Amino acid sequence: MLMQMKKTKKLRSLLEGNEFIRMPCCFDALSAKLIEQAGYPLSFMSGFAVSASRLGLPDTGLISYGEMQAQGQTICTAVNLPIIGDGDTGYGNEVSVQRTVRGYASAGFAGVMIEDQRAPKRCGHTQGKEVVDRESALRRMRAAIEARDQIREAGSDLVIVARTDARASKGMGEAVERANRFAELGADILFVEAPCSEQELRQVCEEVVGHKMANLVEDGHTPLIPPEELSAMGFKMAAYPLTLLSAAIKAMQEALSELHTELHPKQILSFKNLQDVVGFGEYDRQLRRLEED
């Protein structure tokens, strides 16, 4: 719990700072370690990427709370940087939402995202998603924030990311209204999913209060605006949810294709670098120290 409290404090310091936050998203302990080793201050555990890597299944509500919470605990234990966890719809009613918030905090997350989709939820950049009505969305967010406040009394200032997918079926006006209502309830970061143009991104920044997050999916609905421009618009942070997963899959597909031929894949790490990435050197240093003691 002490480490989780330090991570939530670090996340809140990042939010209050002047820097724009680039947030590559992780899906397992190794991807989180790579993000940390690359010097990024923050990551987000992507539900799409976890569903793909853990289950080999699409992000269509098939992965459970228990599987996500367990994956998150493994990730958070592996790194020192703060991680925001994808809490989807909260996995049920308002009581379930509160269990999700508390469970993600106990797993070591510095923040949790809760969204207003109707179950079973879908990736925000695919077709067929639906949202609950506004009052249901507000009840869901109110439950998440109440649980956050209860945890805060114990010393853990968990960050709540409030996401709305209303733009796709109800328009930008409703999405903006929901985001602002979430802010009034006490959400820490506001996330309007899948604006479809630079103009809509600007509308989010002009009409939504508080810290705002952009979500950049390669070949998704939202244009891939450079970080400097997003910051100038008024976004505080940008998530890159599928960049590492897509890069990893492409690299593995190419390596497998090469193995069908006489050639051995060339675009791979040396064995020494691979050992360094996963931590053999640190393990051996700790073992020598303990043996000497």
The 10s digit of each residue's pLDDT in 18-51 is 999 999 999 999 999 999 999 999 999 999 999 9
Mean pLDDT along residues 38-67: 97
Does 72 fall in a domain?
yes
The end-to-end CA distance of the chain, in Å, is: 28
CB of 198 within 8 A of CB of 235? no
Mean pLDDT on 247-263: 93
* Confidence check: pLDDT of 293 > 80: no
Residue 169 lies in a domain: yes
What is the rounded distance in angstroms from the CA atom of residue 35 to the CA atom of residue 263?
30
The domain total for the chain is 1
Instruction: Provide the pLDDT confidence category of residue 155 given band limits of 50, 70 and 90.
Output: confident
SS3 109: coil
Residue 41 has a pLDDT of 97
Which pLDDT belongs to residue 3? 86
Cis before 120? omega within 30: yes
Q: How many residues can be counted in the chain?
A: 293
> Is the pLDDT reported for residue 118 higher than 90?
yes
Q: Which residues contact 292 (CB under 8 A, 6 or more apart)?
A: none
pLDDT at 142 over 90: yes
pLDDT digits 0-9 by tens, 75-89? 999 999 999 999 999
**Domain assignment present for 273:** no
The residue-averaged pLDDT of 192-220 equals 97
Name the pairing type of β-strands 83-86 and 43-45.
parallel
How large a percentage of the chain has pLDDT more than 90?
92
Distance (Å, rounded) from C-alpha 83 to C-alpha 13?
14
- Tokens 């618009």 found at: 233
122 part of a folded domain: yes
| Residue 27 near residue 45, CB atoms below 8 Å | yes
Asked if residue 35 belongs to a domain, the reply is: yes
Q: Is residue 268 part of a domain?
A: no
User: Hey, how many other C-beta atoms are within 10 angstroms of the C-beta on 138?
Assistant: 17
Q: What is the residue type of 182?
A: F
DSSP-assigned beta bridge partners for residue 145: none
Contacts of 197 (CB under 8 A, 6+ apart): 223
CATH classification of the domain holding 91: 3.20.20.60
* pLDDT for 228 beyond 90: yes
- The confidence score (pLDDT) of residue 93 equals 97
The predicted model scores a pTM of 0.95
Phi, psi of 188, rounded to the nearest 5 degrees: -90, -35
Query: Does some domain include residue 292?
Result: no
Mean pLDDT of 276-282: 94
How buried is 95 (Cβ within 10 angstroms: 0-12 exposed, 13-18 middle, 19+ buried)?
A: exposed
In the numeric block, which tokens belong to residue 221? Answer: 């609905």
The pLDDT of residue 5: 87
Across 113-126, average pLDDT: 93
19-28, 149-158, 184-193, 207-216: least confidently modelled range: 149-158
What Rg do the C-alpha atoms of the chain give, in angstroms?
20
Is 275 domain-assigned? no
Round to whole Å and give the CA distance between 23 and 242. Answer: 11
pLDDT of residue 127: 86
Percent of the chain clearing pLDDT 70 (strictly above):
100
- Which residue range is the domain that position 84 belongs to? 2-247
pLDDT at position 1, please? 73
Interior/surface letters 196-233, b for 16+ CB within 10 angstroms, e for the rest: eeeebbebbbeebebbbbbbbbeebbbeebeeeebbeb
